[in-house]
Amino acid sequence: MSEQLISSAVARNLADSKQDVRKKGAQEIETQVKQLRQDGEWQKVRAVVDSLTINFTRSVQTSHRKGGLLALAATAIALFTEVGPFLADLVMPVIECFSDQDATVRFHACETMYNIAKVARADILPFFAQIFEGLVKLSADNELKVQNATFTLDRLIKDIATEIDAFDVARFIGLVKKQIGSNNPYIRQFLVSWLMALDAVPDINIIKYLPEYLDGLFHMLSDRNKEIVQMTETLLGELKRELHEGGQPTPVGYGPLIKILIAHCSSKEDRTRKAALLWLLDFLENGKERLLPFSADLIRAVFPCISDREEAIRTTATKVNDALATLMKSEEVDQELECTTIKALQEMLVRSETRTRIATLHWILMLLDKNSDLVLSHFAELFPLLLKTLSDASSSEEVVTLDLSVLATLSKTPENFKKFMHDLVGLLKKERKKLLTRSSIGLIIRQLSLLINPEKIFRELATILQREQDKEFVSPFVQTLNMILLTSAELMPLRTLLKSGLEVDDARSLFLELYYCWSYNAVSTLSLCLLSMAHEHAYTLVCSFDEMQVTVNFLTQIDKLVQLLESPIFAHVRLQLLEPTQNPYLVKTLFGILMLLPQSSAYDLLKNRLKSVSTLTLTTHIQLSSENQKPKKSKDNSKINWDQMLAHFNSVQQKGAVPLLSPSPSTG
């Protein structure tokens, strides 16, 4: 039947190599089908379509396929309103030609589908999936004329899809999801254009399917094609606006979206990281407490961005952090959520980036203020991390300061405080080369003294160090602590207490506790005695120095002590020189120090100071060798066993030939 319907002449025209001849053959098919439609010969129409498919569009001859496509288009036009029942037979052969090896065949396939769709309109939509997938491939075609034909067909299909109420959005999103992972810029552009077209239709809601394609859109932000990036940014901006339009809760659950955004916060592309952060910021501003269940994941994603190399990203990440912290601080959350948040903060604390650590420590302080008991329950896990931060080479002064604030807050209980001090000493011992300098330990002790009673700190440190067996560690540590005690403004209350005199119970108690520890460093012990006005014992110590190994480091410490004697710290000692008869051992101590010093600027400084004491007064009232004119015992002698103190000092100094700072050549 089909052979009789399509004459040999028409068949030759359709198979001709010339386009004009093929068009003539297609026109003859159109005329023939119109007549069959008028006569109601539907079986014959189907036979014509079958013949065109089998003998032409599926032929191995290129010209046959081109002619067959023209004839199918002509058939659709001829059927007009009656095309519906024949669409499957018309559409599927054309879709097959979308993948033809010959570009001109693909071009004709686009034109044919355009003509079929133009006639069928909404009736073409049952084949939307096949057409859409074909268009995806054609959008990336190498031939410009095929791309142009694809664009024209695509525009028509968009018009049809957006003008009807029954468009299957869910099915469409499924098709997009299959293709959106492509890296091809043309396919990306094609998909974004479709999403934009449908999003612009008020009655079509693609927002509720956002989790299905949001990840793909964010990947497109890294495309090298600026036009694609701009299109994607425009679409993302519109979608973000629609999510919270009118202040209404988002129709999409936050969980799937946040998971996607978190992944892109670690993207290698700056633009992508910033976009993800902006979305998270928008979520926090609009979703508020509904975002709190995701706090731990947000911290892990956002905190590294706070230290990003790009300022814009750092700024945005900081805003996200501030918004989340404000929510956490103001809202009541369950204990499990706070626990997961603390675990996330622990992970961030081990990172090396300064800004990230600062943000982490601020969070821990905030949680301590909000629920200290809960944070304290994590003391065992937090404490080692906080302690390690003190010794980390990457820790800035601000990090150390905040870290100490957290440690001090965690150490408010006696048990935790003792552990803190004990482990701090252990850390300083382990990292002595790195930390046992005045700048490092000085910062730690000074900051702690602002947070915890400095007397409490020094008493505990003295107790711990007395039990320490490593004398090579204790001696320089004591020297450092002594310099901090003498010079740091934060330690002024402690100095004031010691200066009040050993007849004051609190001062005497502190002096004794420090003395037993300070004995591991001779010059530090001497300076403690001078500060506390234990002049007679200071003189005794100076006299015992002749039995010790006098090293360069020892003389350096003596030199520093002389410099300090001229500072405001020892103003009370210098004023006592106005009454040498009342303070003979002070004068003798200073002369003893002078005798220990080699010729140097420190020697000249102390010599000039002693010259200012009246020679006559010294001659008249101080008889160094006369036992009958021995000055009166100090008021505190009855309350302190000085012989026992001296014995302890000598024992410590003689034990193991403890170096005064570090081994160095003797001066002779």
Instruction: Supply the pLDDT for residue 527.
Output: 97
Mean pLDDT for 94-117 is 98
Instruction: Supply the pLDDT for residue 548.
Output: 82
Torsion of Cα atoms, 21 then 26 then 30 then 36, to 10°: 110
Instruction: Supply the pLDDT for residue 623.
Output: 52
Instruction: Supply the pLDDT for residue 387.
Output: 92
Cα separation, 125 vs 194, in Å, equals 15
Query: Is residue 441 over pLDDT 50?
Result: yes
How do residues 481-539 score in pLDDT, each as one tens digit?
Answer: 999 999 999 999 999 999 998 999 999 999 999 999 999 999 999 999 999 999 999 99
How do residues 190-239 score in pLDDT, each as one tens digit?
Answer: 999 999 999 999 989 999 999 999 999 999 999 999 999 999 999 999 99
Distances (CA, A) of 103 to 96, 106, 553: 13, 5, 89
Of 318 and 395, more confident: 318
Instruction: Supply the pLDDT for residue 188.
Output: 97
How do residues 588-609 score in pLDDT, each as one tens digit?
Answer: 999 999 998 888 888 888 888 8
Q: Encoding tokens for residue 550?
A: 């006098």
Cα separation, 551 vs 518, in Å, equals 18
Q: Are residues 56 and 15 in contact, defined by beta-carbon separation less than 8 angstroms? A: yes
Mean pLDDT for 129-156 is 97
Instruction: Supply the pLDDT for residue 251.
Output: 64
Residue ranges of alpha helices (H) inside 411-504 are 414-430, 432-435, 438-451, 454-466, 471-487, 492-499
Query: Is residue 323 over pLDDT 90?
Result: yes
Instruction: Supply the pLDDT for residue 392.
Output: 83
Instruction: Supply the pLDDT for residue 639.
Output: 83
Cα separation, 86 vs 41, in Å, equals 13
Cα separation, 221 vs 257, in Å, equals 17
Count of all residues that appear for the chain in the document: 668
Q: Encoding tokens for residue 101?
A: 């090896």
Q: Is 226 exposed, middle or buried (0-12, 13-18, 19+ CB in 10 A)?
A: exposed
| 579: phi then psi, degrees, rounded to nearest 5 | -125, 70
Q: Is 269 exposed, middle or buried (0-12, 13-18, 19+ CB in 10 A)?
A: middle
Instruction: Supply the pLDDT for residue 614.
Output: 58
Instruction: Supply the pLDDT for residue 666.
Output: 33
Query: Is residue 249 over pLDDT 70?
Result: no
| CA 11 to the chain's CA centroid | 72
| 662: phi then psi, degrees, rounded to nearest 5 | -160, 155
Could you tell me if residue 310 is left (phi over 0), alpha (psi between -120 and 50 degrees) or otherwise beta? beta
Q: Give the number of other Cβ atoms within 10 Å of residue 301's Cβ.
A: 25
**Complete domains list, the chain, with CATH:** 253-333 (1.25.10.10)
Q: Are residues 72 and 90 in contact, defined by beta-carbon separation less than 8 angstroms? A: yes
Residue 619: band (very low, low, confident or very high) from pLDDT cuts 50, 70, 90: low
Q: Which of 22-36, 394-408, 438-452, 570-584 has maximum average pLDDT?
A: 22-36
Q: Which helix (H) or strand (E) holds 544?
A: helix 535-544
Q: Give the number of other Cβ atoms within 10 Å of residue 234's Cβ.
A: 12
Residue 622: band (very low, low, confident or very high) from pLDDT cuts 50, 70, 90: low
Cα separation, 458 vs 160, in Å, equals 83
Cα separation, 461 vs 446, in Å, equals 14
| 666: phi then psi, degrees, rounded to nearest 5 | -70, 150
Where are any strands of DSSP class E within 359-487? none
Q: Name the average pLDDT for the chain.
A: 90
Handedness of CA 15, 20, 26, 28 (dihedral sign): negative
What is the reported pTM? 0.84
Instruction: Supply the pLDDT for residue 549.
Output: 78
Counting residues of the chain whose pLDDT is more than 90, the rounded percentage is: 78
How do residues 414-429 score in pLDDT, each as one tens digit?
Answer: 999 999 999 999 998 8
Query: Is residue 75 over pLDDT 70?
Result: yes
| 223: phi then psi, degrees, rounded to nearest 5 | -65, 145
How do residues 346-371 score in pLDDT, each as one tens digit?
Answer: 999 999 899 999 999 999 999 999 99
Instruction: Supply the pLDDT for residue 611.
Output: 84
Instruction: Supply the pLDDT for residue 137.
Output: 96
How do residues 6-27 score in pLDDT, each as one tens digit?
Answer: 999 999 999 999 999 999 999 9
Helix (H, G, I), strand (E, B) or coil at 551: strand
Cα separation, 405 vs 450, in Å, equals 9
